[in-house]
Structure 1
Amino acid sequence: MATAAVVVTGSTAASAANTAYVFAYFTETPNMSGANYGLHLAVSRDGLNWSPLNQNNPVVTPTAGTRGLRDPFILRKQDGTFVVLATDLNGTNFGENNQYLHVWDSTNLTSFTGYRRVRMHGLNTHTWAPTAFWDAARGQYGIVYSANNGSDVLMVNYTSDFRTVSTNQVYFSPGFPVLDGDVVVDGSTFYLYYKNLSTGLLYGARSSSGAANSYTTYTSGLRQGNAIEAPLLVKNNEGNGWRLWGDSFSPVNNDFYAWSSSNVGGNSWAALNQRDFTPPLNAKHGSIVGISSAEYDALVSRWGLPNWVRLKSSNFPDRFVRHADNAGRLDTYPMEPFQDQMWRMVPGLADSAGVSFQSVNYPDRYLRHSDYAIRLDPNDNTATFRADATFYRVAGLADASWSSFRSYNFPDRYLRHANYLLRIDPLSASSSASDRQDATFRITP
């Protein structure tokens, strides 16, 4: 990539040709069956709906320290290449202090080189949730992370090469404990979003210099759900808006919430409806960076898109189609076993122009209707089973950009949920708005 095309804006560093995004994260699930502390990547064209790469397996895993990571952060450097930083922690032993960060270099995120651990300080404390930004006045990068020097603060070290770093110093200590800073430079303004541990809310601060302890908080506190942390500030590739993400941090709750604003310098964040975005499956505390179309294509070519899908409800967007005790259901995400919501959408068993839903974790079983109720049953290869398990995908009855599924052998009936159970019922364009929403789903990885 030509370095002249690169415009660095902190954690959303992007080139002028950026048309897509990449998301770095680790994974956890409610009972930790899906926990993996390697570097995961997902891609998106719109920055809202994400497709995990490498079948949601890690693309690289640390080989030193704890041999695991949390909180991966991707920065596009001044030369157009990337650096990846991450917390050195394998699991959830948050009492385990560590003075190091994991670091990799990468040209375009299709391979990772130069793996090392960089010592950030000599304190008996943690080194969590790194973020990094270009400080033009210094001619160096700042690496900001959470630590404790008697109080929870944000520390900073400066570097030119992400190998040798300056002595650590306190970067943000506003008089109350803070966690999870994200720094973004936009024009001549430095924005720092963080969690106030006293209130449990996310706030935004800003500075004209980016110097240590020069920030002034300018937003009201933000929270969605029961708890939130890990603010992630992203400038849209189109340059006409911003998004702020927050992680629920509990694997038993919704993993991410999001806000949008047309003016990052204002105090006007609007919560996004969960039907407007779908984070990567099982993703936790990550980072997002803009990429070009060529970089998007290279990532997909190298790591591959999912060979499975999920079905997200239109009117209950925190719920996904899953099987449980062989019944088709609509349940809240996240769930266990997490594979119960994963399907291979294959050519229809009765008509290849239609579709059938093959279970990922029970591949001999398919969704089918029986007495109009949806079940997960083994394929006995009878004509009746093939017909019951075949649907025609059509424009969503409640939203034409989503999908509805018409029964092959009962063509006036559609797949829908009722009291969170799946069935097929007669529906049409004249059905009630609620019924049409019950039969509308987003196909997403």
Structure 2
Amino acid sequence: MYVFSYFKEEQESLFLAVSEDGYQWRELNGGHAIFASHIGSKRLRDPFIWEDREGTFHLIWTDGWRSRSIGYARSSDLIHWEDERLLPVMEQIPETQNTWAPEIFYDTAAGRCRIIWSSTVGTGPRNHRIWSATTADFKSFTDSSLFFDPGYNVIDANITDLGESYLMLFKDERGSNEKGTDYKAVRSCLLKKQEGDRPQVAGISGLLTPALTEKTDTL
């Protein structure tokens, strides 16, 4: 069973769809929202769900366009959500403009869960890099630090464990949101498993998708 989490522009809340084969999808709850944010900006964009070893589902999301925090809630059944709160991951970083598209993976080198997200730090136009923090219990967190910086604007990172290394997909956010742009598409790279908060990067790929493409995730 595949589960797809998403939001809608007309209703920034958590929606879920399920599939047996990854091709045919059925919306849950009659196509109505499963959960809505009551904290921060009360906006819920870019929902990401991660299941831990005990079967608890951890939901994180973008809390609006300019928030320095990300939203968090947990559930045992994907329907009923509790412990809703803001995680102030970038509140202590001066000149942070935003905190977008958070995701979770288990960092085997650190022995902890790692949350990654995109933030612009500094004045001027948005120029994102990927930041991260780790946690063992989703109650206390390490200080946030820079995780990935290829030297240009990137967002929407997603990491898959390949065993010997991690595969990361990310969006090259250069260019413009107009037809004919040279960027705004997905690249990949390998990350070496190692101690520390900023892994060694190997082999950033060319553009893997057409321009004006963003990635999606399933559970």
Cα distance, 1:61 vs structure 2: 0.5
**Matches of 1:59 and 1:163, distance apart in 2:** 24
In the alignment, structure 1 residue 115 sits paired with structure 2 residue 77: no
- Superposition RMSD on alpha carbons, in Å? 1.6
Are the aligned partners of 1:173 and 1:213 in contact in 2 as well (CA < 8 Å)? no
Are the aligned partners of 2:113 and 2:134 in contact in 1 as well (CA < 8 Å)? yes
Off by >6 Å, runs of 4+ in structure 1: none
Residue in 1 that maps onto 2:143: 167
Residue in 2 that maps onto 1:23: 4
Residue in 2 that maps onto 1:178: 154
Are the aligned partners of 1:152 and 1:177 in contact in 2 as well (CA < 8 Å)? yes
Cα distance, 1:50 vs structure 2: 1.2
Cα distance, 1:208 vs structure 2: 2.6
Q: Which has the higher helix share?
A: 1
For 2:188, give the aligned amino acid.
G
Q: CA offsets, 1:2-57, max 9 Å, x none?
A: xxxxxxxxxxxxxxxxxx110110013xxxxxx11111111000112211111211
The match for 1:223 among 200, 204, 209 is 209
Identity rate, percent? 27
Residue in 2 that maps onto 1:127: 99
Residue in 1 that maps onto 2:30: 55
**Matches of 1:223 and 1:138, distance apart in 2:** 32
The match for 2:173 among 197, 204, 209 is 197
| Bigger Rg over Cα | 1
Are the aligned partners of 1:203 and 1:217 in contact in 2 as well (CA < 8 Å)? no
Residue in 1 that maps onto 2:74: 105
SS at match of 2:33: coil
Structure 1 residues 26 and 85: CA distance shift in structure 2, 3 A: same
TM-score, with length taken from structure 2:
0.86
Cα distance, 1:213 vs structure 2: 4.1
Q: CA offsets, 1:78-131, max 9 Å, x none?
A: 222210100012xxxx4xx21111111111213112111111022332110011
Residue in 1 that maps onto 2:113: 141
Cα distance, 1:193 vs structure 2: 0.5
Are the aligned partners of 2:192 and 2:199 in contact in 1 as well (CA < 8 Å)? no
The match for 1:44 among 4, 7, 19 is 19
**Matches of 1:178 and 1:213, distance apart in 2:** 16
Are the aligned partners of 2:192 and 2:202 in contact in 1 as well (CA < 8 Å)? no
Are the aligned partners of 1:118 and 1:163 in contact in 2 as well (CA < 8 Å)? no
Structure 1 residues 109 and 101: CA distance shift in structure 2, 3 A: same
Q: CA offsets, 1:309-328, max 9 Å, x none?
A: xxxxxxxxxxxxxxxxxxxx
SS at match of 1:55: helix
**Matches of 1:102 and 1:117, distance apart in 2:** 5
Cα distance, 1:162 vs structure 2: 1.8
Q: Report the count of equivalent residues.
A: 202
Residue in 1 that maps onto 2:218: 288
**Matches of 1:100 and 1:161, distance apart in 2:** 18
For 1:118, give the aligned amino acid.
L
Structure 2: runs of 5+ lacking an equivalent: 175-182
For 1:143, give the aligned amino acid.
I
**Matches of 2:165 and 2:24, distance apart in 1:** 29
The match for 1:214 among 200, 204, 211 is 200
TM-score, with length taken from structure 1:
0.44
Are the aligned partners of 1:83 and 1:106 in contact in 2 as well (CA < 8 Å)? yes
Q: CA offsets, 1:268-306, max 9 Å, x none?
A: xxxxxxxxxxxxxxxxxxx310xxxxxxxxxxxxxxxxx
SS at match of 1:288: coil
Are the aligned partners of 2:69 and 2:88 in contact in 1 as well (CA < 8 Å)? yes
Are the aligned partners of 2:185 and 2:208 in contact in 1 as well (CA < 8 Å)? yes
Structure 1: runs of 5+ lacking an equivalent: 1-19, 29-34, 233-286, 290-445
**Matches of 1:186 and 1:49, distance apart in 2:** 27
